[in-house]
Structure 1
């Protein structure tokens, strides 16, 4: 049965101020870092004489530090302002990506990826709040724009990694450092200065927010889903029949294109037609099936490649709708919800690739994928416990007139450190509601 939506005539999410595009471009480069190392993992393992588990630590150090640092992003940004927080995060990524490229061994790269993760946390949490607060077209459009940046970054990261990786394993790290330097300059020039806010966030706020059942449950779903997602992203390259970096980059580029397309176009359409809960059930079951296929046919490279590429469809849908769900049903300010959700989900994403490397070495490559499939299905079961909350959020979003999410967005602008666009957002809200 088709679901009608009051947002059918919402303005395009791609008509945005220059400052939003500057931050979105920086998001693309930042998200490149997630899949950048995929095409060079086998090369790194061979050239640096590292085990599979050791090279998987490139994901673990990056994501675990990102997760922990998420807890402090609100504390930092409330003391120096949104723009300075973005700039600090971008600068850290520039420096540590370059240092990773200049390293002489696997443990140096792992350590500098951790520093990269710190910059990534400061940037990601604040960039989402800035885009939500500054983008025209409302909260839903801002999420679409953010997920578009995520999809493009995830798609182009492996492609860039593959192209530069044919020259040297150092190339992808230096490439991201240069691109992020361009993003840093664009952010400095195009984003208006932001004042230091009067309200100072507490370090305990993201953890305290886990007392709220809806946010804790959705974050738990994110952790379980990311366990499966990063098992696939981190270990599947070793099962693709010895493809060279360019070929591996091409595989993950195709995957990333599907992530972007279904995050931007597929997820909103499916949500409108089936609702958030049912769409997420389908996406999580789809990911679990593809993980199981890799686990059962881990010695057939063609099956692994096809399953990885097809997973982009369900990953794109899931990424958009889980992010939207977290922001819609959380009873705390969105910056706090973003930090809490980021902390929990990146813990799962960080530990999964390393665990996959250890399990594959001990009991075979099929085991981590079969376990990941079960973990993702557990996420679908956990999601069912907040079905009513998701349905209520969908119903409220369909109501005409000023919506709950619009009021929340305006409150978030006042609460997000240093965002200078409250008057602009209020005017956009009036224009949007009149339509």
Structure 2
């Protein structure tokens, strides 16, 4: 199995070393790690965390990046001091690490360049982790959107369909900054594709709990991420009518806590399956323009969407049901790691949920493998088919296996006192 360790030391070097020591202790005795997956809380200097980790395991390749918080079987937190690492033993094999540092020159072009590299090293089903830093600038505030990056990758891939899972990284829930590890050091404005060794395969489920509360509607007016019209009516009029409220200038952010706009993939009349929905958070509404602005600019003129209810109770139930389903799928099997990528907005301090959904994950998961998780800005996973897409307000649970192909802003930390090797 992969060795997972967690640190929560305010000293960044010691936090990295602490997490590394615990991960080494979880490996089979005598098995040396050959590369690492590392996630660091935003209050840490990433270079110092990396130095601490390498003081324990030596100079190995390290990928991953910043995180608003971390989750392992030992507990979870988002104080900013969390460090979580997964050490991959040498017998699993080496990854191919592909890097493009041109996000500032265009996310779509960066994705196409990565896709051009990936097409030479992947086949259908090959597991690829994709990490990029979400924050393009803070003044003015601008994010690197994931949808053109992912779309560009598929343009380069042609007909190839790897199992693509990943995230946009953040240092905290306030979108202050972000970085990725490119195998050697922390980088900005960079996308990193990690092609896992062919000995590893993956199964992924999407957990969000958003359910449709409207009929299908067509986007009849849109400019980038700003939706002007739904079925020929002002978009904000449609949402206000559905919700029975009037959105004032000081309430435009309230919509993000109530509804999303969702696009269903596959058969539109098939039974509800959250794994087939791409939901877009509503960043803001304009009472003057009667429009809404989404988190990503990937919906198009003519896209068919639904209004989706965003509810904390549904979110928690989605995690409970989805994890139980994965438990059943892996009963009697021996997976090597569970990776949990969790939207930072779902943490209790941001969502207002009285129940931390990460706590539900830890209570329910019974897969016999170490758990490594982190809080992200954007999640990326296969939706409905083999095509991966960027997601909002979502958790992505990926189980790596060797089967043949077939804390809070105030410093809260939830230590469960469990070992890092698995529940």
TM-score tier, shorter chain, comes to: under 0.3
Structure (1 or 2) with the greater strand fraction: 2
Q: Relative CO higher for 1 or 2, CA cutoff 8 Å, sep ≥ 6?
A: 1
> TM (normalized to structure 1)?
0.25
